[in-house]
Amino acid sequence: MPQYNHILLTGGAGFIGSNFVRFVRAHRPDTHVTNLDALTYAGNLENLSDLEGDDGYRFVKGDIRDADVLRELLSDDNPIPGVDAVVHMAAESHVDRSILDSQPFITTNVQGTQTLLDAVRHANDGRDTPIRFVHVSTDEVYGSLPLDEPNEKFAESTPLAPNSPYAASKASSDMLVRAAHHTFGMDTLITRCSNNFGPYQFPEKVIPLFVTNLIEGKKVPLYGDGLNVRDWLHVDDHCEAVLAVLEKGRSGEVYNIGGNNERSNLDLTHTILQLMGHGDEMIEYVTDRPGHDRRYAIDAGKLERDLGWQPTRSAWPDALAATIDWYKSNGDWWQRVRSGAYRDYYSKQYAGRSVH
């Protein structure tokens, strides 16, 4: 099984990215990780404050749409071993924001992905072994499943049918990665995961939003009838799966990642309320989001059969209870995110010195 010397991770200051950095450094201590992040609203360097001083990790503030930054990072002139793998997580990812303004989703998710692919392709010139490129996508590219057919799930062969601007932008980026493999022979792989949960998730997402609202004595806003179903995956299970795809996946393939953990939003809400000692009086039903997909469900059998991976950290309700406890114990973190104070961390930590 190959282990990579140096991973360039895009979007590593976000929720999944920061957990992936920590997972790699813990489980592959000989692998260097360079974290390239533009630090938009969801990028938070406080997520990785525990890795300050780690010689195997560095942060670079930069945009995946900036070809010059990418060229420099992928150059063999790096002071540490040259990049031999890219894990691409940088993305605009919130459906509600994409409905309000889809433009950032197109420029980042589509144009940014193509810029990154171009940079990797050019960096491969003259290399004996090409840079491996793992593109982290979402089950939302498949569209929606019916509630009355519980045995139907998304497989890697399911046609793409995105229903939101966010999902459409991710489907577009998936197709660009596919084209790079088939046209240029690039060593690319695509992962599509179900809904993640766990520490350091931006508190506009449903689980941290509901948990932090309840901590503050506020009601939880539940969309529509609450019957929309999602497959919940702990972020550490996701990180382990992405690492397995990087190290053992077959070039050009797509791998679905799921938690085998389908719950309706109403069931999720009731479980959170129960675990936090509240009743239904804390639910505030709100107008549903436009085009809200009814059900997502992942068939991760290919990943289990081919790479030997299966989720081990997503068990319900214990994994949810542990996540709730994390937010209870880390009030300073999410309060700084909600107030916007977390944005000051970068300028204070890196004032007057280069991040390269």
Mean pLDDT computed over 322-328? 98
- Mean pLDDT across the stretch 313-332? 97
Least confident of 76-80, 134-138, 230-234, 312-316: 76-80
Mean of the per-residue pLDDT values of the chain:
93
The yes-or-no verdict on residue 143 having pLDDT over 90 is yes
pLDDT band at 289 (very low <50, low <70, confident <90, very high): confident
Domains assigned to the chain = 6-202+232-260+293-313 (3.40.50.720)
Q: Read off the pLDDT of residues 44-63 as tens digits, 9 standing for 90 and up.
A: 999 999 999 999 999 999 99
In angstroms, rounded to a whole number, what is the distance separating the alpha carbons of residues 230 and 87? 25
Q: Which two tokens stand for residue 221?
A: 């806003």
Instruction: Give me the mean pLDDT over the 114-127 stretch.
Output: 96
Is the pLDDT at 354 greater than 50, yes or no?
Answer: no
Locate the DSSP E strands across the chain: 6-10, 32-37, 57-61, 85-88, 132-138, 188-193, 195-197, 220-223, 229-234, 254-257, 262-264, 283-286
Whole-number pLDDT of residue 154: 97
What is the rounded distance in angstroms from the CA atom of residue 207 to the CA atom of residue 265? Answer: 10
pLDDT band at 356 (very low <50, low <70, confident <90, very high): very low
Report whether pLDDT(350) > 80. Answer: no
pLDDT at 80: 67
CA proximity to 324, closest of 243, 213, 177, 226: 213
pTM score of the predicted model: 0.95
In this prediction, residue 157 has a pLDDT band, given cuts at 50, 70 and 90, of very high
**Residues 192/138, Cβ–Cβ less than 8 Å:** yes
Residues designated catalytic:
139-140, 166
Question: What pLDDT, on a 0 to 100 scale, did the predictor assign at position 344?
Answer: 81
Question: Could you please report the per-residue DSSP string of 189-218?
Answer: EEEEE-EEESTT--TTSHHHHHHHHHHTT-
Rg (C-alpha) for the chain, rounded Å, is 20
The answer to whether the beta carbons of residues 300 and 233 sit under 8 Å apart is no
Q: So what's the pLDDT on residue 78?
A: 61
| CA distances in angstroms from 49 to 59, 149, 202, 345, 347, listed in the order given | 11, 45, 16, 10, 14
Q: End-to-end distance of the chain based on CA atoms, in angstroms? A: 30
Pairing of strands 283-286, 32-37: unpaired
Band the pLDDT of 123: cuts 50, 70, 90.
very high
pLDDT at res. 40: 87
pLDDT of 156 reads: 98
pLDDT digits (tens, 9 = 90+) for 297-307: 999 999 999 99
Instruction: Using the predicted structure, report yes or no on whether residue 69 has a pLDDT greater than 80.
Output: yes
- In this prediction, residue 77 carries a pLDDT of 66
88 pLDDT band (50/70/90 cuts)? Answer: very high
